[in-house]
Chain A
Amino acid sequence: MRTLRKYGPLYVMMVPVVVYFLVYAYYPLVRGLQTSFQDYRLMGDRPYVGWSNYSAVLHDTSFQEALVNTFIIGGSILLIGFAAPLVVALSLNEVLQAWYKKLAQMVLYIPHLLSWVVIGGMWIFLLSPDNGLVNLLLVKAGLDQPVNFLADPGWARWIMILLAVWKDMGYNCILFLAGIMSINPSLYEAARMDGASRWQQVRFVTLPQLSSTMKVIFLLNTLGILRIFDEVFILRNPTTAPKVDVLMMYTFQKGMVDIQIGTAAAASFFVVLLTLALTLVVRWVTRFDEV
């Protein structure tokens, strides 16, 4: 009773959050699990159908394609989106003029601030074969045929990957820079005493000291692989769909367009399971807990 009087107000403060999570995080999970075993109709009864939704998903070739696309596109974004900002952060760190460094950071961060609709809309226009800036420049540079980047299945995946890396470049870069800033300056001093060159200081001081930052960034970005949706939703079209539709796109298509809610719920659960599996693998590989 005394505890209740002492801590009562605190529990009251927690109530809205608990209610919200119960309704919007836990209940949907349960409800989704239930739905994935149902023949879910919008009207009428919803008979249980066992595992048939799951097996329908697994045998669906477009699901298999979506799985492959997710790992190719997501995996490439993960790797290139890790390496490129690291290189840029190291490069920024070598800039001595403070104003130039600040300016570059500011400019590089802008695309991350904008939505995929804006970024996608902009690039659809920039990459258009008729009067897009990129093709105008390419033709001027001597290319005889403008390339229809977004309608060409060969290009579409690369566009998705590169745009995602480009968009989040500044964001990841600032994370790396924060890591670099926290390296003890006396390490560089000691390295210089030993006659280390500029490159050797990067190689033997900065990079090893940055390893824990790298692990954190890699872990944070890994979970993004399965969440890719907005970009694909905006930049896809029927020609490129088999090469770029990712898992979330498949779920959306099944649930909201084909109205096969049971199947879509089953597909959602594959995504949830994959998320958990991926988290565990990354934790194990990077030994996150030691950080």
Chain B
Amino acid sequence: MSERYDRLGWANKCFDALNALFLLALMLTMIIPFLNVIALAFSSGVASMQPDIILFPKSFSLEGFRTVWENLDLWRPFLNSAIVTVAGTALHVLLSCLAGYVLIHPELPGKRIMVTFILITMMVPQEAVMIPLYIVNKDLHLINTLSVLVLSGLVSGFSILLMRNFFLGVPYEMAESAKIDGAGEFRIFLTMYMRLATAGLATVTLFEFVGRWNAFTAAVMFINDSMKYTLQLALKSMIVDTGAVSSNYLITTNVRMAGIIISILPLLAVYPFVQKYFMKGILLGASKE
């Protein structure tokens, strides 16, 4: 890399400096808002309501977090989100892997039909059929249950093809020789493919975890009982809908910002892994047949 350009030229140095500044300015549009949110969340209620530019907490206090968690019961939507995310992700990964594994067998009769069957589901975006989906879920008596959120997006063509592409990286001869030794499909799937395609597993799991934690459209459509609210719904009603008053408490700015921070903590925990796996996943997923 370092030999790519003549680094000594005056114009080049000037360009490098400007380029670095440009990126810094762009980064600041991401950093400053977040600093502002963090600072407000850790400020006292009174301080957080004053019109003032703050990037560090003013009269430091944790009352925002206490209020949002205990008085506004944010723990309940947090729990709901956790249940839906964990259950949904686990099932999504399992089903995608099963289907992905089936599709790597080159001589399987009917394989083309299955692939077409899956590709068609990818052509129609979920959002476009949300009204019919509402009707279907209503007929199945699933409105206002957490199951409906687990079921929505239970498996996707994207994940299936992604897993298939990862499984194709496992040498097929290995599976064949195991079969000659008498191993069944399920055993080969569990003991060989699931272990050897861990990068794929990690990718799909992370995508799904983040997607489900953030899922909003399905929750808005299918849930209106506040006991079943997910974190995103609770945040929406707390931050966006209310003026500043709920039934009992004045929701001060620090409370809202504390809600935001709590809701992004699980994402920040997985962020380093997302960075690592996401590029591989995207590239494999985008490359078709």
By a beta-carbon cutoff of 8 Å, the part of chain A in contact with chain B is: 3, 7, 9-11, 13-14, 16-18, 20-21, 23-29, 31-32, 35, 40, 88, 91-92, 94-96, 100, 103-104, 106-111, 113-118, 120-126, 130-131, 133, 136-137, 140, 166, 169, 174-175, 178, 188, 192, 198, 201, 216, 220, 223, 226-227, 229-230, 233-234, 248, 251-252, 255-256, 261, 264-265, 267-268, 271-272, 275-276, 279
B8 located at the interface, meaning its Cβ lies under 8 Å from any Cβ of chain A in the complex: no
**Distance in Å: Cβ of A4 to nearest Cβ of chain B:** 10
Partner of B117, one of A9, A21, A130, A264: A21
Contact B217 A275 (CB under 8 A): no
B121 located at the interface, meaning its Cβ lies under 8 Å from any Cβ of chain A in the complex: yes
Complex interface: stretch among B57-65, B165-173, B267-275 = B267-275
Residues of B within 8 A of A126 (CB): 33, 36
Partner of B98, one of A16, A21, A114, A271: A16
B70 located at the interface, meaning its Cβ lies under 8 Å from any Cβ of chain A in the complex: no
29 A-B contacts, Cβ less than 8 Å apart?
A13-B189, A14-B114, A20-B155, A21-B155, A24-B133, A28-B129, A91-B23, A95-B19, A100-B20, A108-B26, A110-B34, A111-B30, A115-B213, A121-B235, A125-B239, A130-B51, A133-B33, A133-B36, A169-B26, A178-B282, A198-B12, A198-B15, A229-B127, A233-B216, A234-B240, A248-B127, A261-B131, A268-B132, A272-B124
Q: How far is the CA of A130 from the CA of B95 in the complex (A)?
A: 50
**Distance in Å: Cβ of A252 to nearest Cβ of chain B:** 7
Contact B214 A115 (CB under 8 A): yes
Q: How far is the CA of A82 from the CA of B120 in the complex (A)?
A: 26
**Nearest neighbor of A182 in chain B, beta-carbon distance:** B283
Partner of A256, one of B101, B114, B134, B210: B134
Contact A94 B30 (CB under 8 A): no
B180 located at the interface, meaning its Cβ lies under 8 Å from any Cβ of chain A in the complex: no
Q: How far is the CA of A11 from the CA of B123 in the complex (A)?
A: 24
Q: How far is the CA of A99 from the CA of B93 in the complex (A)?
A: 34
**Distance in Å: Cβ of B185 to nearest Cβ of chain A:** 4
Contact B102 A13 (CB under 8 A): yes
Q: A24-B133, A104-B26 are known contacts; what are 14 more A-B pairs with Cβ within 8 Å?
A: A16-B95, A18-B114, A24-B154, A25-B120, A28-B133, A91-B19, A95-B19, A113-B267, A115-B216, A118-B264, A226-B127, A233-B216, A248-B130, A275-B125
In residues 255-275 of chain B, which contact A (Cβ within 8 Å)? Answer: 256-257, 260, 263-264, 267, 271, 274-275
By a beta-carbon cutoff of 8 Å, the part of chain B in contact with chain A is: 1-2, 4-5, 7, 12, 15-16, 19-20, 22-23, 26-27, 29-34, 36-37, 49-53, 95, 98-99, 101-102, 105, 108-109, 114, 117-118, 120-121, 123-125, 127-136, 151-152, 154-155, 160, 184-186, 189, 210, 213-217, 220-221, 232, 235-236, 239-240, 253, 256-257, 260, 263-264, 267, 271, 274-275, 278-279, 282-283, 286
**Nearest neighbor of B55 in chain A, beta-carbon distance:** A133
Contact B214 A17 (CB under 8 A): no
Residues of A within 8 A of B260 (CB): 118, 121-122
A-B contact count (CB 8 A): 238
Partner of A21, one of B16, B102, B118, B278: B118
Residues of B within 8 A of A96 (CB): 1-2, 7, 16
Residues of A within 8 A of B132 (CB): 28-29, 31-32, 35, 265, 268
Q: A118-B264, A255-B134 are in contact. Are A94 and B19 (CB under 8 A)?
A: yes
Q: A96-B16, A234-B236 are in contact. Are A226 and B125 (CB under 8 A)?
A: yes
**Nearest neighbor of B213 in chain A, beta-carbon distance:** A115
Residues of A within 8 A of B101 (CB): 10, 13
**Distance in Å: Cβ of B282 to nearest Cβ of chain A:** 6
Contact A108 B30 (CB under 8 A): yes
Residues of A within 8 A of B95 (CB): 16-17, 20
Q: A18-B117, A121-B260, A256-B134 are in contact. Are A136 and B52 (CB under 8 A)?
A: yes
Residues of B within 8 A of A109 (CB): 275
Q: A23-B136, A166-B29 are in contact. Are A117 and B275 (CB under 8 A)?
A: no
Residues of B within 8 A of A20 (CB): 95, 154-155
Contact B235 A113 (CB under 8 A): no
Residues of B within 8 A of A201 (CB): 4
Contact B160 A17 (CB under 8 A): yes
**Distance in Å: Cβ of B179 to nearest Cβ of chain A:** 9
Contact B49 A14 (CB under 8 A): no
Q: How far is the CA of A175 from the CA of B133 in the complex (A)?
A: 32
Contact B27 A107 (CB under 8 A): yes
**Nearest neighbor of A3 in chain B, beta-carbon distance:** B109
Contact A91 B22 (CB under 8 A): yes
Contact B239 A121 (CB under 8 A): yes
